[in-house]
């Protein structure tokens, strides 16, 4: 039975959101200020906007307006059961960590963090945090789909890894080897000047890429790191501090004096600082927006109307920074302000689980780009449906939202179940063919 009356997920402003706050200096009785492009960009960088715009598209699909998709929410219970089964298999004690790049550094049962910690042991808490943030940022930015044919052989463990785990281990080894450092006597850092020298050949060596071991989007990844270097250098010139990702620790904690921040604060800082590195070309009044796309059903008001933000890699990075901040004694609140990640594992979960249905099976044969309405609708459905699935999974596991935030549902979880279904049905390949440059998917 198809569900033609989709529920709209809550779009309440998250903790730390700027939504609804008055302008600095405004007095009671003042006329509302006219929205500006800055306001619109701020709104697009608010995770509440991700939810509300995705909900608008999901509503349209549920109303039967999409030429691509229809929904069968009656299958959500079956999908929740699959996610429960996967979660119990991976974490029998239900002590589920965050969905984070740091899970990939544990691949193969190797505690690579302990290896890094031993080398950082003589440094103070702030410098340890900067190094972990440095690693998280470059590793996540390199974490788009690797393709089915690439593998990384780790000399230290003797094991071979592919896909996200392989990219995680390869980027960890590159970091440990000083690939991103400008200081020969300190490899465990990422510097703008080193990133600006990165090219395809550099990544080819570190990631063992060859004709027989191809990595999707190699040049796009290299270009992304170079732009990251440019962005870091420009920010340091304007605001001071070191030209490295780890300076986020100093910015967000007020030089280590602030011991609590919200997940929305982390995401906003990442988007404010790094949006110019993305290749999408999406801009609003010449301000780069990143993983943000036009769609007729996005809704909204003012200058941001019609744009639907996803910020997939930026949110993946925000999730991956939760632990580095917590390890430094900083509490991160409001975790569920962030959304499910709209990528092909979570998105494939709903396609393969029979919740998201194609109106025409021939749509599977086309090659799609991230800017196509087809992909935007699929990703928006993914965000909304993860919000609907999460309470069903928690109920089956006997956990509250406080005990099992969305970051743990994803890890338990939706991503792994999506991958398992893909392996059963298509040898692990995504449900749809995507022309990726290595920076979105």
Q: Spell out the long-range contacts of 157-165 with Cβ–Cβ below 8 A and sequence spacing 24 or more.
A: 157/108, 157/110, 159/108, 159/110, 161/107, 161/108, 163/428, 164/104, 165/104, 165/107, 165/108
Question: If you average pLDDT over every residue of the chain, what do you get?
Answer: 90
Q: Are 105 and 235 in contact (CB under 8 A)?
A: no
Strand partners, 69: 358
What is the C-alpha to C-alpha distance for residues 359 and 362, in angstroms, rounded to an integer? 9
The per-residue pLDDT for 428 is 87
pLDDT band at 440 (very low <50, low <70, confident <90, very high): low
Burial class (CB in 10 A: 0-12, 13-18, 19+), 79: buried
Q: Are 330 and 258 in contact (CB under 8 A)?
A: yes
Percent of the chain predicted with pLDDT > 90: 80
State the average pLDDT over residues 410-435: 94
What is the C-alpha to C-alpha distance for residues 308 and 43, in angstroms, rounded to an integer? 11
Residue with the larger pLDDT of the pair 87 and 8: 87
What is the C-alpha to C-alpha distance for residues 419 and 90, in angstroms, rounded to an integer? 13
Contacts of 255 (CB under 8 A, 6+ apart): none
Say whether pLDDT at 233 is over 70.
Answer: yes
Say whether pLDDT at 51 is over 80.
Answer: yes
Say whether pLDDT at 205 is over 80.
Answer: yes
pLDDT band at 20 (very low <50, low <70, confident <90, very high): very low
Say whether pLDDT at 8 is over 80.
Answer: no
pLDDT band at 277 (very low <50, low <70, confident <90, very high): confident
**Residue positions counted in the chain:** 441
The per-residue pLDDT for 11 is 35
- C-beta neighbour count of 372 within 10 angstroms: 16
pLDDT digit string, tens, across residues 291-309: 999 999 999 999 999 999 9
* Pairing assessment for the beta strands 367-368 and 433-434 based on DSSP bridges: parallel
Q: Are 53 and 299 in contact (CB under 8 A)?
A: yes
Domain boundaries, the chain: 100-245
Q: Is the dihedral of CA 190, 195, 198, 203 positive or negative?
A: positive
Say whether pLDDT at 170 is over 80.
Answer: yes
Say whether pLDDT at 184 is over 50.
Answer: yes
What is the C-alpha to C-alpha distance for residues 401 and 340, in angstroms, rounded to an integer? 14
pLDDT digit string, tens, across residues 339-382: 999 999 999 999 999 999 999 999 999 999 999 999 999 999 99
pLDDT band at 275 (very low <50, low <70, confident <90, very high): confident
State the average pLDDT over residues 168-176: 97
The per-residue pLDDT for 439 is 63
pLDDT band at 89 (very low <50, low <70, confident <90, very high): very high
33 DSSP 8-state letter:
P
The per-residue pLDDT for 35 is 61
The per-residue pLDDT for 14 is 33
pLDDT digit string, tens, across residues 142-154: 887 778 889 999 9
Say whether pLDDT at 27 is over 90.
Answer: no
C-alpha to C-alpha distances, 41 to 35, 227, 272, 283, 304, nearest whole angstrom: 11, 20, 9, 9, 7
Q: Is 0.75 topped by the overall pTM?
A: yes
Q: Are 359 and 68 in contact (CB under 8 A)?
A: yes
State the average pLDDT over residues 11-18: 33
The per-residue pLDDT for 36 is 83
State the average pLDDT over residues 89-107: 96
The per-residue pLDDT for 23 is 40
The per-residue pLDDT for 17 is 33
């Amino acid at each position: 039975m198809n569900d033609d009356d989709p529920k709209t997920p809550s779009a309440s402003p998250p903790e730390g959101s700027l939504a609804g706050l008055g302008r600095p200096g405004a007095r009671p009785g003042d006329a509302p200020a006219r929205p500006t492009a800055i306001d619109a960009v701020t709104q697009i960088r608010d995770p509440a906007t991700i939810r509300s715009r995705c909900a608008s598209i999901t509503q349209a699909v549920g109303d039967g307006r999409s030429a691509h998709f229809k929904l069968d929410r009656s299958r959500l219970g079956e999908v929740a059961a699959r996610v429960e089964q996967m979660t119990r298999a991976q974490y029998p004690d239900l002590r589920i960590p965050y969905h984070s790049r740091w899970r990939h550094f544990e691949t193969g049962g190797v505690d690579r963090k302990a290896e890094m910690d031993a080398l950082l042991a003589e440094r103070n808490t702030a410098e340890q945090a900067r190094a972990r943030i440095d690693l998280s940022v470059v590793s996540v930015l390199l974490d788009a789909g690797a393709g089915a044919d690439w593998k990384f052989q780790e000399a230290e463990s003797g094991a071979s890894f592919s896909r996200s785990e392989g990219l995680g281990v390869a980027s960890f080894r590159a970091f440990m080897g000083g690939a991103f450092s400008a200081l020969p006597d300190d490899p465990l850092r990422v510097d703008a000047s080193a990133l600006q020298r990165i090219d395809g050949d550099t990544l080819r060596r570190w990631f063992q890429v060859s004709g027989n071991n191809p990595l999707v989007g190699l040049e796009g990844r290299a270009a992304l790191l170079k732009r990251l270097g440019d962005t870091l250098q420009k920010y340091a010139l304007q605001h001071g501090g070191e030209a490295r990702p780890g300076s986020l620790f100093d910015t967000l904690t007020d030089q280590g004096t602030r011991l609590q921040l919200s997940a929305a604060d982390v995401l906003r800082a990442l988007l404010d600082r790094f949006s110019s590195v993305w290749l999408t070309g999406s801009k609003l009044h010449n301000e780069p927006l990143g993983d943000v796309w036009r769609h007729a059903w996005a809704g909204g008001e003012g200058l941001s109307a019609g744009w639907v933000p996803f910020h997939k890699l930026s949110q993946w990075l925000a999730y991956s920074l939760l632990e580095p901040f917590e390890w430094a004694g900083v509490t991160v609140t409001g975790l569920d302000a962030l959304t499910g990640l709209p990528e092909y594992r979570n998105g494939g979960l709903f396609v393969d689980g029979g919740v998201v249905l194609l109106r025409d099976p021939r749509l599977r044969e086309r090659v799609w780009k991230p800017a196509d309405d087809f992909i935007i609708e699929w990703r928006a459905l993914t965000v909304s449906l993860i919000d609907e699935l999460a309470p069903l999974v928690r109920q089956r596991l006997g956990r509250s939202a406080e005990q099992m935030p969305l970051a743990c549902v994803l890890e338990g979880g939706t991503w792994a179940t999506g991958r398992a279904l893909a392996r059963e049905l298509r040898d692990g390949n995504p449900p749809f063919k995507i022309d990726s440059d290595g920076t979105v998917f």
